Amino acid sequence: MKPGAKKYPHIFSPGKIGKLETKNRIKYASTETNFNYADGWVADKEVAYMEAQARGGAGIITTQGAFTDEGGEGKGYVGMMAIWDDKFIPGLKRIADVIHKYDALACLQLMHCGRVGGIHLDYTVGPSDVPQKLPRFRPPREMTVADIEQCIDEHIKAAVRTVEAGFDIVEVSGIVGYLLSNFLSSYTNTRTDEFGGPPEKRAEFSRRIVEGIRKAIGDVPISIRLCGEELLFDRGGSTPEESLLMNKIVCDAGVDLLSVTAGWQESPVSVISRDVEMGHWLYVAERFKNNLDIPVSMAYRLFVPEIPEKAMADGRLDFWEMCRPMIADPMLPNKILEGAEEEIRPCMACNICLARLFRDAELCCMVRPSLGHESEPEYGFYGFPKAGKKKKVLVVGAGLAGLQTAAIAAEKGHDVTVYEKEDHVGGQFAAASNGPWGDSEFMRLVNYLEGQCRKHGAKIETGTTVTQELLDKEEADAVVLATGALPSTDVPGSDKPNVVNCLDVLRGKVELGKRVVILGATGVAISTALFIIDKGGHEISIVGETKKLGLDVNPSYIWRYRKKLKGGGVEQITLHKVKEIGDGAVLAIGPEGKEAEVPYDTVVLADMTPNTPLKLTKGNAFTIGDALITRRGNAAILDAYKLGMKL
């Protein structure tokens, strides 16, 4: 018995979906990639990505959503694949075939994006003309009964094509604001005909799709993704009791597996970000598990196997579904099975993947730059080959960038030493992990990168400051400067005793006075403020030059961070340039040259600038990450990864 099967017996036991048995209870959940062609044809890059997912060991592999209508009203992403015509079947079959190579069940998802669709149109469609809350989407147009009948027929025909393409399971998506969820929700469905009104009628559209698919494909299993809690309480959305009733009606029409979720894109609360504790939404899955006679799966915030294993043991869940964790590491199931959990590249729930998709760009991942390059050996998704010539590589700094470069260089067979002046690795990321609301998860990535360094033989020397003399003595073939960033001290008065470093604040090294003024406008300043808010007992002001704070922060987070700043009573002084830190007040210049004095007991410097203690001029020297230019963590990883590829 494999170590993982012994440790997680429920996860690695066979599962049952309709007439089919799965080799384990792990389901890779659907995600769009934007890898495909704009006209809906499947691209080689998509096939390679899906093969990587299948090779990783999950029992069920689900494709991205395929839009079902020729006009593209259901298309919500520029690179979304199509299934509205038989001509797409050969391309879709390529995906089914690579999934079957690895003894996994192939599941194709049908997805009409509804009020968040129509990517190439100037409108979207839905049950009713309810204005959009999110500005990036187009205005909705109410569907006629004829439109609805046609849409149902399109789903049924697409399901038949799914089976013809060789897929084992047909899945229908009805979550996060897509068309089925639009009909189910009292927020977006204000119809008074047979498809609107009470919950039973709001469920009719989805019920008829399932019923029609069941009649058309016989006993081929049907999976459906439905929202268990809309979390639209601020705008008249369906209650949890209504969602349970409607979802049961839909499932009773012929569904074999329910994938239950929580929240919409328009929901005013956190759903899948770090400030939602792992396992939080299991109570939703349990509700449906207790009221349905079919298996229930869930994907949201179940990043580590201990949580779904216990949920299965307790009878709250049947299948562990994963999207972002397997974007970060498609090999996750096999690594768990082999007892190599420390080698899993962990998802940080940073949601850069979603931010890319919503900006019509290809999917990317903060922690895995090989995403989308699975078929390109130089990106090392299946491991880096040994370099032709062994080099001596010296890395200065053990933050994200330094550790990532060192890990790849060592894997390629180089003699690698990492020097770090602190007594621990992780750099700014380790400091940020002290923040509240889930930021402790940052250490999962730090620990992974450190583990990869040690696995491949890189030496890590902490508590060591690198000098020019040390560099000269080492005579390395390559020197990598990955010393990160530090708060700028260019502001006059920054040498005063009550002026402190934001990293020292996050590390708990300083005592703060009652009135705290933070200098900086980026995510670093916001993270520092959130840390202080969580500690309590301080009056906080942030002074920054931009019109809004946190322009570098992911959209999935910034709206909530701003909400937390407001809730914490933080004074936000924007469009102001700090002129001087005076005695007891910060002097800043605002629009039209007006001066403002901001009183303080402690000033926190949080305007980051590259830290370059060494001036490297030789051709074998490389500067990466924040030491080159201050950015976010994904840029540090990408810099480091690409340098590691070249060494």
Q: d(Cα 201, Cα 211) in Å, to the nearest integer?
A: 15
Contact predicate 115/138, CB 8 Å? no
Q: Which are the contacts of 263, defined by CB distance < 8 A and separation ≥ 6?
A: 176, 227, 229, 230, 231, 269, 271, 272
Angstrom CA distances, 480 to 367, 392, 430, stand at 20, 11, 20
Could you tell me whether strands 539-543 and 577-581 are parallel, antiparallel, or unpaired per DSSP bridges? unpaired
Contact predicate 357/34, CB 8 Å? yes
**For residues 227, 232, 236 and 239, what is the CA-based torsion angle, rounded to 10 degrees?**
50
The end-to-end CA distance of the chain, in Å, is: 39
Angstrom CA distances, 138 to 77, 135, 143, 231, 565, stand at 13, 8, 15, 22, 30
DSSP characters over 96-117:
HHHHHTTT-EEEEEE---GGG-
Could you tell me whether strands 124-126 and 577-581 are parallel, antiparallel, or unpaired per DSSP bridges? unpaired
Catalytic residue list contains 8: no
Which of 8, 28, 49, 178 is an active site residue?
178
Q: Which are the contacts of 233, defined by CB distance < 8 A and separation ≥ 6?
A: none
Burial group, residue 441, by CB count within 10 angstroms (0-12, 13-18, 19+): middle
Q: Which of 31, 32, 30, 12 is nearest to 22 (CA)?
A: 12
Q: d(Cα 607, Cα 528) in Å, to the nearest integer?
A: 11
DSSP characters over 246-285:
HHHHHHTTT-SEEEEEE-BTT-SS-SSSTTSPTTTTHHHH
Contact predicate 27/60, CB 8 Å? yes
Contact predicate 247/259, CB 8 Å? no
- Classified as helix, coil or strand, 20 is strand
Q: d(Cα 106, Cα 115) in Å, to the nearest integer?
A: 28
Sheet with 392-396: strands ordered across: 459-462, 415-420, 392-396, 478-481, 621-623
Q: d(Cα 271, Cα 348) in Å, to the nearest integer?
A: 14
Q: d(Cα 547, Cα 550) in Å, to the nearest integer?
A: 10
Which residues is 393 bridged to in the sheet?
416, 478
Q: Which of 294, 355, 343 is nearest to 449 (CA)?
A: 343
CA dihedral over 534, 537, 539, 542, signed as positive or negative? negative
Contact predicate 109/62, CB 8 Å? yes
Contact predicate 345/641, CB 8 Å? no
Residues taking part in catalysis:
178
